[in-house]
Amino acid sequence: EEAPMLAERVAAGTLPNVDERLPKTPRVVTPYDEIGVYGGTWRRAFTGASDDRGPQKLMEPRIVRFVQTGPETFDIEPAWASSYETNETSTEFTFHIREGLKWSDGHPVTTEDVMFYFEDVVGDDNPWPWPSLMEQGDSRAVISAADDLTFTVTFEQPSPLFITRLGREYVWMASPKHYLSQFHPSYVSTDELAAAASAFNVEGWQDLWGRRGKAQSFWLNPDVPTLSAWTVKTPPPSEQVIFERNPYYYAVDTEGNQLPYIDQISHDLFQDVETLNLWVAQGRIDLQQRHMRVGNFPFFKENESSGSYEVVVWNGLEVDTLWPNQTTSDTVMAELFQQADFREALNVAIDRDTINEIVFAGLATPMQAGPPKGSAIFNEELVGKWAGYDVDRANELLDGLGLTARDDDGFRLRPDGDTLEIVITTALFASDINMLELINEFWSDVGIKTSLDVVERTLYLDRVNANEIMMGHWPMGRAAFFLIDAGSYAATLMDNSWANAWGEYQLDRGKSFAVAPPKDHMIYDVWSTLDAALTAGTQEEAIALGADILAMHAKAPNWVGVVGAAPNLFIRSNRMGNFPAGFIRDDITRDIGIIPTEQLYIKK
Amino acid sequence: MTGYIVRRILWFIPTLLAVSLVSFAIIQLPPGDYLTVLESQMGAEGDYNPEVVARLRERFGFDQPFMVQYGKWMWAMLAHGDLGYSFEWRVPVSSLIGEYLALTVIVTAATLIATWLIALPIGIYSAVRPYSIFDYIATILGFIGKATPNFLLALVLMWWAFDTFGADVSGLFSPEYANAPWSWAKVRDLIAHMWLPLIVLGTSGAASLIRQMRANVLDELQKPYVEAARAQGLPEWKVILRYPVRVALNPFLSTIGSSIPELFSGAVTTAIVLNLPMAGPMLLRALVSQDMYLAGSFIFLLSVFTLIGTLISDILLTLVDPRIRFEES
Amino acid sequence: MNEPLLTLTNVEKHFPQSNGFLKPAAAPVRAVNGISFSIAEGETTALVGESGCGKSTAAKLITSAITPSAGKITLRTRDGNILDVGSLRGRARKALWRDVQLIFQDPFSSLNPRMTVKQIIAEPLRNFDIAHGQEATDLVADLMDRVGLQPGTMSRYPHAFSGGQRQRIGIARALAVKPRLVVGDEPVSALDVSVAAQILNLFQSLKKDLGLTYLLITHDLSVVRHSADRVAVMYLGNIVEENTTAALFKSPRHPYTQALLSAVPSQDNQDKPRIVLTGEVASARNIPTGCPFHPRCAYATDVCRLTAPTFEQLPTGGRVACHTPLEFMP
Amino acid sequence: MKDLIRVDELSIGFGLKNWVIPAVEGVSFSVKPGETLGIVGESGSGKSLSARAILGLVPPGGLITSGSISYQPESGDAVDITSLPKNGRAIRKLRGAEIAMIFQEPMASLSPVHTIGNQIVTTLRQHADLSAAAALSRAIELLDQVGMASPAIIAGQYAHQLSGGMRQRAMIAMALSCSPRLLVCDEPTTALDATTEAQVVELLMKLQQDFNMGMIFISHNIGLVSEIADRVMVMYLGQSIESGATEHVLKSPAHPYTRALLNALPAFAEAGAELATLQGAVPDLTARPTGCSFHPRCAEFAGPQCETERPAIQVVTNQHLARCHLHE
Amino acid sequence: MSNALSHESAALKAYAEASGWRLGWAKFRRHKLAVVSLYIVGLLYLLAIFAEFFSPYDYSDINRRHVLAPPQAVYVVDASGQFTWPHVRALKGQRDPVTRRLNYIEDPENTFPVRLFAPSKPYKMWGFIPLETRFIGVSTPNRQASIFLLGTDSLGRDVLSRIFHGARISLSIGLVGVALSFVIGIILGGMSGYFGGWVDTIVQRTIDLLQSLPTIPLWMGLAAAVPPGQDPLVTYFMITVILSIIGWTGIARVVRGRFLALREEDFVLAARFSGASEMRIILRHMVPSFASHIIASLTLSIPEMILAETALSFLGLGLQPPAVSWGVLLKDAQSLQVISQAPWLLVPGLAVVITVLAFNFLGDGLRDASDPYGKV
Ligand SMILES: Nc1ncnc2c1ncn2[C@@H]1O[C@H](COP(=O)(O)OP(=O)(O)OP(=O)(O)O)[C@@H](O)[C@H]1O
Ligand SMILES: Nc1ncnc2c1ncn2[C@@H]1O[C@H](COP(=O)(O)OP(=O)(O)OP(=O)(O)O)[C@@H](O)[C@H]1O
Ligand SMILES: [Mg+2]
Ligand SMILES: [Mg+2]
């Protein structure tokens, strides 16, 4: 079966038969609810060039991809590869391309495209840097093709997380050589390159490549062959970016109908999020999560019938977290932060339920920051620990630290006699000021003064990188596979760092403020265990070591997690079928990309 | 006359150079550059790669000193009419801003005309019947329009239109016309979408116009030549339209140029709220993401429009008001 | 009387036409185009002429409000020194204003509406360090009394005074420094007949009492005839005739003077025919070659069109700038 | 000959909240075709107001409180201008066509943004059914008549391009365009210097003869009035205090004010002699003295009745009237 | 003349001795709207200055039980229909289980009398004067007792109190900005007008240049350059500086125009003849003459600054919470969610409109009055 739109073209002779277009063994996708019908346009909205990930995440041309298998569990499946094998020591990974797999222009996909990607697209002399995913330790992976459809990635050291990372990172593993080589200096002359650049209206041939490469990016170039379910028809900059189905897409439903069901995806450009909200209320959006704020939940809910849609809630994995910087340049504060009791007091002085109620309309979960339930290394103790509300305990702890003297306004004094004041730095995009204001209120109840420093996102990073932050506010995220981003636990993920100077010491990037942690500090154990985990021979081993790290953090709080599992709202119009509720939405699992979007359909 | 225009155009050159320098300086003012923004965007999406940024930094020449960057931009502009390159959109600025500027000009011009059409008769009537009920109502309504922040008015009107009519009043086009090539139907669609921006933008300008027109006409009505015209036996409406209104209009012509930046600035917030594909929101984005050539070119071109507007209004003025020409020669 | 108080020698004032940047320079306005005359101490000299002929410019030159483009203006000071008025600056110029003062044409714009009469009149007293405090107040009262104002009104603002009274305030201010030369630039033309008469009487009595020297600028010839000892007639930046009042009125020698006099209606010249000038008034921006008056002159000859006449002393008294002066009528 | 215009006991007041300030009080005069009436008086004495009333152009706020202005058209009955609706069709038909006015300031009275020709054409076409071209050629003809050197060029020029005298002549051409029967000149030469004034006066006198117009000539230049008026009316504080043939009024004035006014003129005085001045200043309209308005300044007090009793108009000699107790 | 003088009434004497300022004031008073506006502006500043006292609550007081509560009515009739002392009713909030919207119902049984000069939690006026009384409040200090006359925001903070506090920044930003513009404008405009020549040319060209740049981008550029996360006071000051960078051009034009005009005035020439030094001419003769004009145009530019602040905040380039200004409050209200569910959060917009209106009328009146000698 194929879409009527394509059937017409087949009939007209401009397209081969559907059997010729599909690989021998197409990927079979089980629709969530029912077999869909073909046709229709999926209407979305986007904010412009920088929102490119929005449209892209609907249809990433991945070699392997995440699937959600339970409420909070995931798995990885081959996508355009038919299968892959891992050797026992996690150093060799062999992939098999689906036989008969075709680019969206009908050209067959072979290992030549893979080799082209690794030899000509990424790497030092190439348009795009070598992906860190393809490195382990100090050496790069070697890619070799066994035949037209089989290739192997070989690492020197074990790389247990390679496949997981592959499901998440922007490494497509293959580029359409037959098309792209015409823009590559190794294949064509400088003059031709210049001509190509000017045809694309860009400055140099380099601009044809890369994340926003005019020729290479499948959302900017209608001509570039891709493996995604839809290909761009009207690219940006345009008021309305339109994607159209890929006639050669390699997946079918359980009845053998070629996917995707939906003919077109259109993205309308909006300037202000209120416009989008209005579109939602008017029923102009079919399915969208990006830019849908939790704060607007009542609004969305109340307009469900007028806009004939439903608000579908997924849960986020991130936990809103405060990061007391134990190495802040204010040495008195640094010393205080280094006291486990002090950090515990900060934790238990917060009424997380009230925050949940007021800021998240009661839809999130008050919790400590840590890996979520369902994650392989979920640590129940850690998530629940220090997340209760106990003012007396907090006061007791603080008094116990000798912070008993108070100033005229009732705030505690620091050992040096100044008012105990914590400056929380937050980047606008990441935070809800309301939450921080509530925390401000809770902490003043136990005599700790706080002040808010709201900065721009870039500036936040600048400050972090200069160790100019006393306490940061940044979500702890990507925790489902925490080893991928274990920096939060090792204080080396700078925006999530609870000890910037120590983190820098470990990263050894030559920052002047980097300093070695005190002898016997638990962080040394964290570092060594993490190293071991990342180079463990198998994923199981790595996970076991990861659990150890969590146990180290369960002894004393190093950060202040506030609420997590925050609701992520999807606006799903009533005509959109096969969209499940209650999934996890996270960047690692590719947001909406975790469901096969190709099986969504527009009801007739 | 021609000599005058030529001189004015010659004046353009130093002015434009200064304008371009200021534009460029403005966009260079904020700390960081496009790549710091890109870095944080990449960070948010989880695909931060320092090497990418380093390569881009070199490619875009961000490591060069200010004057070198400016010089290159200017040179490209002078030599090839090339406005530079939008980092964010990865296209030359010139290919990006054409339509936005065109729509901006259309909306701005329409606003200007609509404001005049509303404000002038009201202003004249207020002057002819000063201190009448009508005069007071017009004055107060006008001032309220002036006092209400554009974005607030836009949002409230947008909600009101949705709440009462379920109408979508945002944007300049219906979705089906957004990408369509220009056609008669698209123009009609544009006109149908234009009323809200016109109200929002017009109300803020109308008040001052009404007041000015009223004051000007009142002034002119005191002049002896009005009495002389009456003494000629001309009917009152002819007396008013033929003489004081003609003369009172002149100051307006002279404000065409200066009202362009004003209108444009008011339009930024309105365009954002109403989702108008105009230069304002694009410029704001460009500024926020430090897409410097795009932002710089916008500011530069808008200033050029203003300068041209000023020139046009000066020329119109000399055409319409014979006294000016006299002072000129 | 031998050495005149004030002498102008070939004084010129050209205003460059500033057309702004990047424009070709236009021909300058030749507002005053080489005038020479002198004023004797104790005399009232009148400067007459059409509107725009350069009278006010001449007044400003004499009072050093502007500097001449060419020529020399000299003033004989109290101690007999000769002061070059044209080149004065700063302190020296300020010193000049102790000797030379100006009375303005417009009594409404020449008084600062935000100062009381007392402050206005006391301003020169203060600035020239003549009197301060109570002494100044007394002097102000004295001056006001002298010009016929109630000293009791000195704390009022100008808006409370009529035009004639304001003009008196202006005169009091000018007199405060006890000047020797008072230049009046059309001091009565903005005033009503009866008020003008009061001011003219005031001039006469002050002249008698204080021995003032006047330069009266006006285009009202009846005022001239009534008040002036000598008259200088200006036309387009030049002085075309100069004589004692009586002689000039009796026997004008320049055709322009003649036309001007004939235009003045008065009861006794009702039967004299009016001489109506033809042609258009030329402007100081574009002065005709030759005799500037020739386009409107009924007696103009070829010489007049080509060469400008010089300002010659006439045997019958007075001076005239004309190639063919009118006949003398004793 | 019938009077062309006859103003009877005209009073004009300005309303100020609840009382009316009388600006013109009981003024009467008349003009015959071909005759010139001069009106003199100090500033603010009500000259312009009276003149404007004839055209029905009392300024806003002003009100004709009593009296009549009857205009005698060429044929038919006299019309009372005061009873015509303000700016109505009836009065507009008279304005410009039958009664024309020349204003005090020629620069300000011409439209700055229309050519001279255009302005004359507008007037012409307002009152006569003329084609644009015909109107223009008539306009050029008129400009020629008022002595413009190259009328066709002048017609295409703007007011500011003309000199004062030319502007005044353009005003005259406009006023004469419909051959009015009565010409009201409100200080037509005040803004001009002596030589230009002479030109204009000459022209007016010639045109009056040519067209046999009635003329009202307002000025405070008594010398000028003495030259051109057949009869003179002297106004003081809104009242006509003396009127009569020019030679009577100016040679042998009957009212102390007229006498004082003449004595104050330098032109009429001996050179160097002290000018006779009027004591005091013109009182404000709101503080009009009781009795004879002039009594606080009068040098020739007639008796206590001056302070209390308003003098009536007295006949001095034939046609020579004065409002003074001296002549009772 | 002497008898005329003796007849003079006291009123006439007063008029005669009235200075320009007094005459201007008399003229100003005839502009009714301006007078009313003057009172409004005065009241607004009073409220802003004593915001702590007039606010029923601390502007940052979080009321967990009254999040997004609607404005509470003041009743003068009790449940049984009897007239009583003015009182408010207790609010009880409930979350809608489906839409999660907070709905509040009033409890007619549970009422709290409204009191003026009500006792309150101790607070500090201007941060240093301890007080325990507020202008208005409810007399029973009890958990349920509340008086949110304009409702509360998403953290249960009293909107009325926030408006009063926001007035501090919003109303002073205009004044400070205008003061800065005034200083720059008067110096540059004055130099330009007084010296003329090349100084004039340079200043004029600079003004042309600045005016040909669209304001918002200029602000955006400059505001983006303000290092964020400074002390709010510093940010505040920077923002005013930015606003006045545009503002001064207008004022410089006015000043220059006035200087040019005055330079030609006879009375200035007269002052020169009176031996006054240049400095004295400027300060004693010229400045007083245009001061009133300048004040009028300054008054007219204050509302522009207030609007500018809101626009900047709207664009996210102005002040940031927790600072409160009307722009910040309005930014909070910029959503359909708010308009449809908590329209009272738009009230700060009303405050802006009223203030801007009042300033405009005030400026209008001042402008009329600034030339007391002109036509009546
Ligand atoms: N500052 C100036 N710049 C340029 N031109 C000037 C200036 N001052 C005067 N003029 C010109 O110089 C000529 C003479 O002017 P001036 O004021 O001296 O005439 P006037 O005889 O006083 O005329 P009036 O009787 O009208 O006062 C005029 O054409 C005038 O336009
Ligand atoms: N619109 C008005 N409102 C109030 N009073 C007015 C108005 N117009 C004129 N007047 C008063 O009426 C009186 C007569 O004015 P009018 O214009 O007739 O005087 P005039 O004799 O023509 O004086 P001038 O010689 O100054 O032209 C004056 O005192 C004037 O103040
Ligand atoms: Mg002059
Ligand atoms: Mg008059």
Within 10 angstroms of residue A132's Cβ, the number of other Cβ atoms is 15
The pLDDT, as a whole number, for residue A153 is 94
pLDDT tens track for D227-237: 889 999 999 88
User: Which has more pLDDT, C240 or E250?
Assistant: C240
Residue B141 tokens read as: 């309504």
Chain D closest-CA separation from residue E14 CA (Å): 17
Asked, for residue D283, whether it belongs to a domain, the answer is yes
The span from the CA of D85 to the CA of D93, in Å, is: 12
Q: What single-letter amino acid sits at B289? A: S
Atom 16 of ligand 1, residue of closest alpha carbon: C54
CB distance from E6 to chain A under 8 Å?
no
Atom 25 of ligand 2, residue of closest alpha carbon: D43
Decide if pLDDT at B328 tops 70.
Answer: no
The span from the CA of C242 to the CA of C310, in Å, is: 13
Residues of B in contact with C18 (CB under 8 A): none
User: Which has more pLDDT, E188 or E293?
Assistant: E188
The pLDDT, as a whole number, for residue A358 is 86
The burial class, CB within 10 Å (0-12 / 13-18 / 19+), for A104 is buried
Residues of B in contact with C23 (CB under 8 A): 7
- Name residues 280-319 of chain E within 8 A of B (Cβ): 303, 307, 310-311, 314-315
The span from the CA of A374 to the CA of A71, in Å, is: 7
Residue among B243, B320, B323 whose CB faces D160 most closely: B323
Residues of C in contact with B7 (CB under 8 A): 22-23
Decide if pLDDT at D226 tops 80.
Answer: yes
Cα–chain center distance at C138: 31
**Relative to the CA of C57, which ligand 1 atom is closest?**
18
Q: What single-letter amino acid sits at A242? A: I
The pLDDT, as a whole number, for residue A431 is 55
Torsion of CA A166, A167, A169, A172, to 10 degrees: 70
Q: Going from the N-terminus, what domains does chain C have, and what CATH number goes with each?
A: 4-235 (3.40.50.300), 252-330 (no CATH)
Partners of chain B (3+ Cβ pairs below 8 A): A, C, D, E
Choose among E133, E242, E226: nearest CA to E184.
E242
Which residues of chain C register pLDDT less than 70?
Answer: 1-2, 17-26, 264-273, 279-282, 330
The pairs formed by A282-285 with CB atoms below 8 angstroms and a separation of 24 or more are A282/A306, A282/A307, A282/B162, A282/B166, A282/B168, A283/A307, A283/A308, A283/A309, A283/A573, A284/A43, A284/B168, A284/B175, A285/A43, A285/A44, A285/A45, A285/A309, A285/A571, A285/A573
Chain B closest-CA separation from residue C158 CA (Å): 25
> Which ligand places an atom closest to the C-alpha of C69?
1
The pLDDT, as a whole number, for residue B329 is 37
Chain B closest-CA separation from residue A35 CA (Å): 29
User: Which has more pLDDT, D210 or B192?
Assistant: D210
Residues of D in contact with C276 (CB under 8 A): 198-199, 202
E276: left (phi over 0), alpha (psi -120 to 50) or beta: beta
The span from the CA of B16 to the CA of B23, in Å, is: 10
Q: What single-letter amino acid sits at B8? A: R
Residues of E in contact with C98 (CB under 8 A): 275
Residues 6+ apart with CB under 8 A from E126: E52
Q: Which of A303, A312, A437, A443 to mutate to test the interface with E (most CBs of E within 10 A)?
A: A437
Asked, for residue D315, whether it belongs to a domain, the answer is yes
**Whole-number Cα distances in Å, D195 to C49, C258, C273, C286, D268:** 10, 10, 13, 20, 20
Chains B, A in contact, 3 or more Cβ pairs below 8 Å = yes
Q: Are A253 and A30 in contact (CB under 8 A)?
A: yes
Asked, for residue D269, whether it belongs to a domain, the answer is yes
Least confident of B27-31, B191-195, E92-96: B27-31
CB distance from A278 to chain E under 8 Å?
yes
Mean pLDDT taken over chain C = 83
The pLDDT, as a whole number, for residue B326 is 46
CB contact under 8 A, E5 and C150: yes
Asked, for residue D281, whether it belongs to a domain, the answer is yes
> Which ligand places an atom closest to the C-alpha of D43?
2
Torsion of CA E339, E343, E345, E349, to 10 degrees: 80
pLDDT tens track for E137-184: 887 666 677 888 898 888 888 899 999 998 988 888 888 888 888 888
The pLDDT, as a whole number, for residue E375 is 43
Whole-number Å distance, alpha carbon C54 to ligand 3 midpoint, is 7
C-alpha dihedral sign at E350, E352, E354, E360: negative
**Which residue of chain B has the CA closest to A215?**
B90
Asked, for residue D312, whether it belongs to a domain, the answer is yes
Phi, psi of B220 (to 5 degrees): -65, -35
Q: Which domain holds residue D303?
A: 251-322
Residue among C193, C245, C270 whose CB faces D220 most closely: C193
Residue D37's DSSP bridge partners are D216, D231
Decide if pLDDT at B16 tops 70.
Answer: yes
Q: Are C123 and C111 in contact (CB under 8 A)?
A: no
The span from the CA of A331 to the CA of B46, in Å, is: 32
Decide if pLDDT at D17 tops 60.
Answer: no
The full set of domain ranges for chain B reads 2-83, 98-320
pLDDT tens track for E180-238: 888 888 888 888 877 777 888 888 878 877 877 777 777 777 776 666 556 666 777 77
Whole-number Å distance, alpha carbon D193 to ligand 3 midpoint, is 12
Asked, for residue D38, whether it belongs to a domain, the answer is no
> E142 by DSSP, 3-state: which?
coil
Q: Using a 6 Å CB cutoff, which residues line ligand 2?
A: D 14, 23, 41, 43-49, 59, 61-62, 220, 285
Taking domain B98-320, whether its CATH number is 1.10.3720.10 is answered by yes
Rounded to an integer, the average pLDDT of B102-117 is: 84
pLDDT tens track for D244-281: 998 888 888 888 888 888 888 877 777 777 887 777 77
Residues of C in contact with B11 (CB under 8 A): 21-22
Q: Which of B1, B2, B7 to mutate to test the interface with C (most CBs of C within 10 A)?
A: B7
The span from the CA of B136 to the CA of B142, in Å, is: 10
CB contact under 8 A, B11 and C23: no
CB contact under 8 A, E273 and C97: yes
Which helix (H) or strand (E) is A96 found in, with range?
strand A92-97
**Relative to the CA of C49, which ligand 1 atom is closest?**
21
Phi, psi of E102 (to 5 degrees): -85, 125
Strand order in the sheet with C70-76: C26-39, C6-17, C70-76, C82-84
Query: What ipTM was estimated for this complex?
Result: 0.80
Ligand 1: which of C17, C57, C183, C283 to mutate, judged by most atoms within 8 Å of the beta carbon?
Answer: C57
SS3 track for chain D: CCCCEEEEEEEEEEEECCEEEEEEEEEEEEECCCCEEEEEECCCCCHHHHHHHHCCCCCCCEEEEEEEEEECCCCCCCEEHHHCCCCCHHHHHHECCCEEEECCCHHHHCCCCCEHHHHHHHHHHHHCCCCHHHHHHHHHHHHHHCCCCCHHHHHCCEHHHCCHHHHHHHHHHHHHCCCCCEEEEECCCCCCCHHHHHHHHHHHHHHHHHHCCEEEEECCCHHHHHHHCCEEEEEECCEEEEEEEHHHHHHCCCCHHHHHHHHHCHHHCCCCCCCCCCCCCCCCHHHCCCCCCCHHHCCCCCCCHHHHCCCCCEEEECCEEECCHHHC
Partners of chain D (3+ Cβ pairs below 8 A): B, C, E
Chains A, C in contact, 3 or more Cβ pairs below 8 Å = no
The pLDDT, as a whole number, for residue A428 is 65
Question: Do the bridges between strand C70-76 and strand C6-17 make them parallel or antiparallel, or are there none, so unpaired?
Answer: antiparallel
Phi, psi of B156 (to 5 degrees): -65, -45
How many CA atoms lie within 13 Å of D181's alpha carbon, on the beta-carbon side? 16
Partners of chain E (3+ Cβ pairs below 8 A): A, B, C, D
CB contact under 8 A, D260 and C194: yes
Residues 6+ apart with CB under 8 A from C302: none
Q: Going from the N-terminus, what domains does chain E have, and what CATH number goes with each?
A: 37-49+162-369 (1.10.3720.10), 55-156 (no CATH)
Decide if pLDDT at E23 tops 80.
Answer: no
Q: What are the mean pLDDT values of chain A's consecutive 10-residue runs (604 residues total)?
A: 86 89 92 91 87 86 89 86 91 93 92 92 83 85 92 91 86 90 89 86 80 82 92 85 92 91 91 86 90 87 91 88 92 92 94 89 86 76 86 93 88 91 79 83 91 77 85 79 80 86 88 89 92 85 88 90 88 93 85 90 90
**Relative to the CA of D14, which ligand 2 atom is closest?**
4
CB contact under 8 A, D271 and C198: no
Residue among D95, D105, D127 whose CB faces B231 most closely: D95
Residues of E in contact with D280 (CB under 8 A): 1, 4
